A and B are shown apart, each in its own frame.
Chain A
Amino acid sequence: MIRRLNYTKRKSINHQDVAIALNVQDSGSITFDTDLHLSKYELPPGATVFVEAYRQTSWMRFNYGTIGAISSPTERTLTAFDSPEGILFRVRVTSTDSPKGILLAEADQIGFRSAKGETENRMPLLPVKPEDIGNQVYRIDFASVRPILLINAAVADWKAVARSREFFALVYPTVLREILVRIIKIEKYFETEDESDWRSKWLTYALSLHGSPDLPGEDTDVDAIDDWVDQAVEAFCKDNTIIDKFIALWTEVGE
């Protein structure tokens, strides 16, 4: 993956400051409502605010006025989408001063809530899905916008497998290790500020496990990186009492 450098110090808008609710009409048409809280980012009052909905080749942009006068457009029907599944949103704030069109702030890959609030489509850190993966029981797929845990579709009740204590104890620590190694050793990514980037989210999560703000850097040697990853996995296991649960489970089987 190619690194993208934020030369202009574009601000990252926290996902918690953007709420999007989707409403599917009986006719099938999809509309949305937004709740934006952007005042704390100290953006120019004249900067333009856009909300975009997208999914693969479908994309729509809505003008929400300016930072100084945010207003929802009256027409917010997602005519380019035939179903709500997989729709994501982004909020972009762009400069109207010279040079015009500079991106000042952004929040990307924002999920939505249904208008009734019954379901939530915020993106989980590690989605799980069934897939034909030959003779492997599970595999991590890095080919999407974020890692996905694939479970062999030949397993009849893959959801039950993913939720099972056995699977959790044996697989998830390994998954965490593989993802952290991927981010730090293969992609050499060390940032935690970009909320739209899955790697930032995972590193933030790993830091929360560590209970320490220390993160390896580009100059950290390989052994120290391995130690850091191992500490994160150990902390994950400790937080989730993995070994206790596994021993209890094994004892149950023995009985």
Chain B
Amino acid sequence: MKLRKLNNAGIKEFEDYLDQLKEQPALAPPKNILTDPLTSEIIDAVIEIEERKFANRFELAKYLDEKLIAIPSMESNKGFWPWLSLYYFEILCPADVNGRRNPHEKARWIPAFSDFRKYYRHLLAGPYRIYRAHIDKPERALALLCGPIHKPGDIVEQLASRQELVTNKAVMEIATRLYINPKTGTPRKGAAGKSGGSARRLAEVLNQFDVTWDLYSMSSENLQSMLPKEFNKFAA
């Protein structure tokens, strides 16, 4: 399908659907608004988006980057991300065995661009922006991009909400080195949660370091050497 975006009426209709879905979890998504000229408009008449599956957030972000690279200002396009979310609704909000879907919070579908604690929660714009922030070497942000596209996970929640961390190359390298199994590309046991050495603890420790040190000018090796011993279990 050619790239389109929802207009205000389309966004409203999509929001209404998300509200209704909480009461009627088997309600079918309003796919008609994707192409209805009353609710959407074309962005680019050449670029095609295909229906497909993605192994993880990284693969999704890479695909979107390749598709959107020639179009300016897509990161903050208000109508595009809801449109794309609806287009991929079935894989972003899979139904359970009884055909019921749980959309969770609205920020997963309609980007909360002005809210720094929620903007990254959009299931598509979130991984795309993280990938773009590390476009010189996206693999360094694998800790935030390795999860399934409908389940961003706790590492994302802990690290993506802080601008100083998510944009810091050294921090992302450390997070990926500590928490991602290089053989499987999946999170190591204990990376999520509240226990010692977890991503939550890493965010807390770096939050304190950030008062004292200029973290942006540090290499990942130097920064990692300053971490408390609780992180050693992941560094082996």
Measured between beta carbons, the chain B residues less than 8 angstroms from A52 are 216
Given contacts A82-B75, A129-B114, contact A54 B167 (CB under 8 A): yes
Residues in A98-129 with C-beta less than 8 Å from chain B: 101-103, 129
B100 at the interface (CB under 8 A from A): no
Q: Indicate if the CB atoms of A58 and B167 lie closer than 8 Å.
A: yes
B207: Cβ under 8 A from any A Cβ: yes
**Residues of A close to B166: CB separation below 8 A:** 57
Answer whether residue B132 sits at the interface, using C-beta atoms and an 8 A cutoff: yes
Known: A56-B129, A57-B163. A83 touches B217 (CB 8 A): no
Asked if A94 is at the interface of the complex by the 8 Å CB criterion, the answer is yes
SS of B interface (majority): helix
- Is A61 among interface residues, defined by CB-CB distance under 8 A? yes
With A5-B211, A56-B116 already in contact, the answer to whether A61 and B216 are too (CB < 8 A) is: yes
Q: By the criterion CB–CB under 8 Å, are A57 and B167 in contact?
A: yes
Decide: A57 and B207 in contact? CB cutoff 8 A.
no
Contacts of B73 in A (CB 8 A): 82-83
Task: Tell me if A's interface is mostly helix, strand, loop or mixed.
Answer: loop
On whether the beta carbons of A103 and B117 are closer than 8 Å, the reply is no
Whether the pair B208, A4 counts as a contact (CB closer than 8 A) is yes
**Which residue of chain A has the shortest Cβ distance to B135 in the bound complex?**
A80
> Please, how many angstroms separate the alpha-carbon atoms of A4 and B208 in the complex?
6
User: B133: which A residues are within 8 A, CB to CB?
Assistant: 57-59
Interface string of B53-95 (1 = CB under 8 A from A): 0000000000000000000110110000000000000000000
Chain A residues at the B interface, C-beta cutoff of 8 Å: 2, 4-8, 10, 28, 50, 52, 54-59, 61, 82-83, 85-86, 92, 94, 101-103, 129, 132, 143-145
**Sampled A-B contacts (5; CB under 8 Å):** A56-B120, A56-B129, A82-B76, A143-B118, A144-B117
